[in-house]
Amino acid sequence: MNMMIGYGAILAFTVLVVVVMNRARRGDATMSEYATGGRSFSSWFGTMAFLNTWLAGTVFVAFAGLTASGGVIGMYSLSYSLLSVVLMFFLGTPVNKWGRTYDLRTQADLLGLRYNSRSVRVIAAIIGVLASVPWVVLGMQSLGLVFSTLSFGQVSPYLAVVIGVLFIAARQIWTVKLGTRGLIISDMVQGLFAYGIGFLVILGMLVWLVNNGHGFGAMAPALLELPGLGSPAGPFYLFSLMFTGMMGAWCWPDLFVRMFSVRTPRTVKKSAVQAAPLLFIFSAALTTVSLLASSVPGVSEAPDTVWFIMAGIGGVGLVAVAGVCVVAATMGNVGANLQALGTQIANDIVGARSHERVESAKGAKIAVAAVTLVSAAVALFTANQVSGLIAIALVSYQAICQLAPTLLLGIFWRRGTAAAANAAMVSGILVAAVLELMYPSPLSIPWLGGLTSGVAGLIVNLAVYLAVSWLLPATAVEQQRVDALFDDLKSKAPVSQGAAS
């Protein structure tokens, strides 16, 4: 009976999401419409699309577990998330305006335009795809904990992973069919449940913890310490974690394309302003619960299950609601990733190779379906080797951060060149990869004061970008083209808007 309640809740929620997606269905025969949802969404859809892409189901599992086991340092994710929102505010005008003016569909597309370079576009696209796939696979596998918990002991952990992978893969039928428009509509439903209902559940947990003696006084003192001067992790360790998180945020193709989907640059900014308090309130509450719950029996033995241990206090119904929160957050992240990766493969790898601008959505739909099937197959075959995949995922995070100088300096600085971008990305990835192998995450590099491999790679990356840009400046014609791109941003001409959604 308990299992029926748990699995039934997930099924009912999924049906609700699919019904809402189908009601909003429109034609999306063109690649641009499929990839951007017609650039027609309002700020609230932009806000929820950002949150549902950024706050994956792992915030309830791995990040909550990190706080429950590692202590207050787990709050670093809140800090870099908010800095990413601040960056979103500044990125809004160039990304959205260039996107509409030049019909950009992907992050790599924008880089191709800015640097007037096919190689920059293709390298960025390949980095984005290769770095994202391990996270998609892990996202699929993470549902195993949900299906295992909601079976109340009826399903083995391995079978639960298989069920989770098959479930999330099947959900992608609608991602493939409905593209970005369907994703953003579903983000609203999924986000309202994951972070709205989820926040109410968190509030209940907080009240219970405080009323049952699980305050700061009950916590182990070590959990309230940050790595400081003289700490084993190194004095720059916390800085490195936050800096990598902030720089890496907009390098993820799935998150970046959200800025193409809303009506105007000002809509992106408004989405950021609305996202900040929601992100702050939700994440601060969740990390506080995870921190205080560290003294609850059973949590220290299995910190990744802290969300479900706490929900268990409220009975079967609350465990089912908690499970749906994780599923709702995972659906948004995995769907966005698969859609962005498929589109990027069709638009920027296959499209750039054939020297033709892809105009039909058919190729992207095939690519999204193919990436889904490959990811699901990898997730099933590696269901018993999750630790190896986590290592690859951590390496890939350090790798994707290396897009940041090319992406951010390209958007905010006129002098960067294609040669600088290519040299910087490649050198940064090589340095980060070698150091990551020597000092695997979450370890820091002792002789660099606790910097992580990603930050060390970024330092080399940035130095190469600046040096090559200054030593080998763009030709006069190319600089004139780039100046015109930036001058466009200063024009006060109103941005035309897509159809209202």
Partner 1 sequence: MSLSAPAPDSLNLGGRKSSPEHRARLRRAIFAVDLFILLAPPVHWLFSGGQSAFWYFLVANAVVTLSLFALWASSSDEGETA
- Regarding 267 and contact with partner 1 (CB under 8 A), the answer is yes
Does the footprint of partner 1 cover residue 315 (CB under 8 A)?
no
Contact (CB, 8 A) for 221 and 214: no
Report H helices in 192-292: 198-211, 237-249, 253-256, 265-292
- Rule CB under 8 A: is residue 79 a binding residue for partner 1? yes
d(CA 440, CA 496): 48
Measured from the CB atom, is 264 or 427 closer to partner 1? 264
**Binding flags for partner 1, 441-480, as an x/- string (CB under 8 A):** ----------------------------------------
Contact between 414 and partner 1 per CB under 8 A: no
The number of angstroms, rounded, from the C-alpha of 271 to the middle of its chain's C-alpha atoms is: 16
What are the tokens at 89? 């505010």
Among 127, 238, 259, 383, binds partner 1 (CB under 8 A): 238
What is d(CA 408, CA 79) in angstroms, rounded to the nearest whole number? 19
By beta-carbon proximity to partner 1, the closer residue of 171 and 269 is 269
Is 498 near partner 1 (CB under 8 A)? no
| Minimum distance from residue 54 beta carbon to partner 1 (Å) | 15
φ, ψ for residue 470 (rounded to 5)? -80, -40
The correct pick among 26, 118, 266, 414 for binding partner 1 (CB under 8 A) is 266
Nearer to partner 1, 194 or 279 (CB): 279
- Choice from 14, 36, 43, 347 touching partner 1 (CB under 8 A): 43
Exposure string (b/e) for 272-301, b if CB count within 10 Å is 16 or more? Answer: bebbbebbeebbebbbbbbbbbbbbeebee
- Residue 499 as a binder of partner 1 (CB under 8 A): the answer is no
3-state secondary structure 278-307: HHHHHHHHHHHHHHHHHHCCCCCCCHHHHH
CA-CA distance, 165 to 137, in Å (whole number)?
Answer: 9
Q: Minimum distance between the CB of residue 389 and partner 1, rounded to whole angstroms? A: 30
Regarding 235 and contact with partner 1 (CB under 8 A), the answer is yes
Residue 247 token pair: 């720089």
270 belongs to the binding site for partner 1 (CB under 8 A) = yes
Shortest spacing between CB 243 and partner 1, in angstroms = 6
| Contact code string over 154-193 relative to partner 1, x by CB under 8 A | ----------------------------------------
Q: Which amino acid is at 276?
A: A
Task: Report phi then psi at 498, rounded to 5.
Answer: -80, -175
Is residue 100 at the binding interface for partner 1, with CB under 8 A as the rule? no
C-beta of residue 112 within 8 angstroms of C-beta of residue 352: yes
Q: How many CB atoms lie within 10 A of CB 416?
A: 24
By three-state DSSP, how is residue 41 classified?
strand
Q: Does 492 bind partner 1 (CB under 8 A)?
A: yes
Length of the chain equals: 501
Using CB under 8 A, which of 16, 192, 276, 408 touches partner 1? 276
Query: 3-state DSSP call for residue 381?
Result: helix
Cβ atoms of 429 and 160 closer than 8 Å: no
Please identify, using beta-carbon distances, which residue of 208 and 239 lies nearer to partner 1. Answer: 239
Q: Residue 140 in contact with residue 160, Cβ under 8 Å?
A: no
Q: Contact with partner 1 (CB under 8 A): which of 102, 152, 280, 413?
A: 280
Applying CB under 8 A, which of residues 82, 197, 448, 485 lies at the interface with partner 1?
Answer: 82
Q: Residue 369 Cβ, how far from partner 1 at the closest point, in Å?
A: 35
**Gap between the Cα atoms of 147 and 145, Å rounded:** 6
Sign, CA dihedral 272-273-277-278, equals negative
Using rule CB under 8 A, residue 220 touches partner 1: no
Q: Please identify, among the stretches 187-195, 221-229, 315-323, 352-360, the one whose residues bind partner 1 according to the rule CB under 8 A.
A: 221-229
Of the candidates 321, 204, 243, 236, the one whose C-alpha atom is nearest the C-alpha of residue 87 is 243
φ, ψ of residue 169 in degrees (nearest 5): -65, -40
Q: Applying CB under 8 A, which of residues 10, 246, 411, 445 lies at the interface with partner 1? A: 246
End-to-end Cα separation, the chain, in angstroms: 41
CB of 178: closest distance to partner 1 in angstroms?
25
* Identity of the residue, 303 or 335, whose beta carbon is nearer to partner 1 in the bound complex: 303
Residue 478 or 488: the one with the smaller Cβ distance to partner 1 is 488
Give CA–CA dist 100/87, Å, rounded.
20
Work out which of 2, 3, 89, 196 binds partner 1, going by CB under 8 A. 89
Question: Is the Cβ of residue 281 or residue 438 nearer to partner 1 in the bound state?
Answer: 281
Name the DSSP letter for residue 154: S
Tell me whether residue 274 or residue 417 sits nearer to partner 1 (CB atom). 274
What are 119's two structure tokens?
A: 């190689």
Which residues in the 363-392 window bind partner 1 by CB under 8 A? none
Q: Interface with partner 1 by CB under 8 A: which residues?
A: 42-43, 72, 75-76, 78-80, 82-83, 85-86, 89-90, 93, 216, 221, 224-229, 231, 235-236, 238-239, 242-243, 246, 263-267, 269-270, 272-274, 276-277, 279-280, 284, 288, 291, 492-495, 497
